[in-house]
């Protein structure tokens, strides 16, 4: 009888967490045209924040074929977790489209956090793969948390370099593995 109660409690917690995580979250919703300038400003502010935290990251902006900027990625979970964010994609320094990132995780995790993420694409082939709309990081993908000088030791892996900057919250699990991206051109 005790096992049945524990299973019922666990199932209730998992279902309520999954339902709560999805409440008000519509990753398929399209941005309105009038929201574009605000999004561009947030991307510019995010780029400035990364450069301010680690001026050495400028080398990646200068040499990368393209990059994607996600001003805010929200992540939360309790056993089952998820993350979502919207961003902009740049090709050779010019805004080429928008992107969204989603992530579903299962395993030990607890809490919530918000962070900014920038993904650099080393070459046209890697960016084109991202723009195909079905881009996904493997479970082994890792990001460099931006601190002063962090970019000096960073390098590309499979054509991408990933950097994150914490905005707030506390979560006992932090990874970019399993992130999936959609892309919409301008």
pTM of the model: 0.74
Domain ranges of the chain: 2-185
Q: Does residue 88 contact residue 98 with C-beta atoms inside 8 Å?
A: yes
Asked if 13 contacts 78 with a C-beta cutoff of 8 angstroms, the reply is: yes
| 3-state secondary structure at position 4 | helix
Each residue of 78-112: pLDDT tens digit?
A: 878 889 999 999 999 999 999 999 988 777 777 88
Is the pLDDT at 127 greater than 90? The verdict is: yes
Q: Are strands 160-171 and 144-145 parallel, antiparallel or unpaired?
A: parallel
Q: 46-52: list long-range contacts, CB under 8 Å, 24+ apart.
A: 46/70, 46/71, 46/116, 46/118, 46/165, 47/118, 49/116, 49/165, 50/116, 50/118, 50/146, 50/163, 50/165
Q: How far is CA 68 from the centre of its chain?
A: 10
């Amino acid at each position: 009888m005790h096992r049945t109660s524990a299973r019922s409690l666990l199932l209730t917690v998992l279902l309520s967490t999954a339902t709560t995580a999805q409440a008000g979250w519509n990753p398929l919703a399209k941005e309105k045209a009038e929201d574009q300038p605000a999004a561009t400003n947030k991307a510019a502010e995010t780029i400035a924040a990364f450069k301010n935290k680690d001026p050495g990251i400028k080398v990646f902006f200068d040499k990368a074929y393209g990059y994607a900027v996600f001003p805010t990625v929200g992540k939360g979970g309790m056993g089952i977790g998820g993350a979502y964010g919207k961003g902009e994609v740049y090709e050779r320094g010019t805004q080429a489209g928008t992107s969204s990132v989603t992530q579903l995780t299962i395993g030990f995790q607890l809490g919530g956090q918000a962070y900014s993420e920038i993904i650099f694409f080393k070459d046209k082939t890697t960016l084109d793969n991202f723009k195909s709309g079905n881009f996904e990081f493997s479970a082994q993908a890792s990001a460099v948390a931006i601190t002063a000088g962090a970019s000096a030791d960073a390098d590309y892996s499979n054509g991408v370099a990933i950097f994150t900057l914490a905005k707030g919250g506390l979560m006992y699990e932090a990874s970019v593995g399993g992130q999936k991206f959609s892309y919409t051109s301008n």
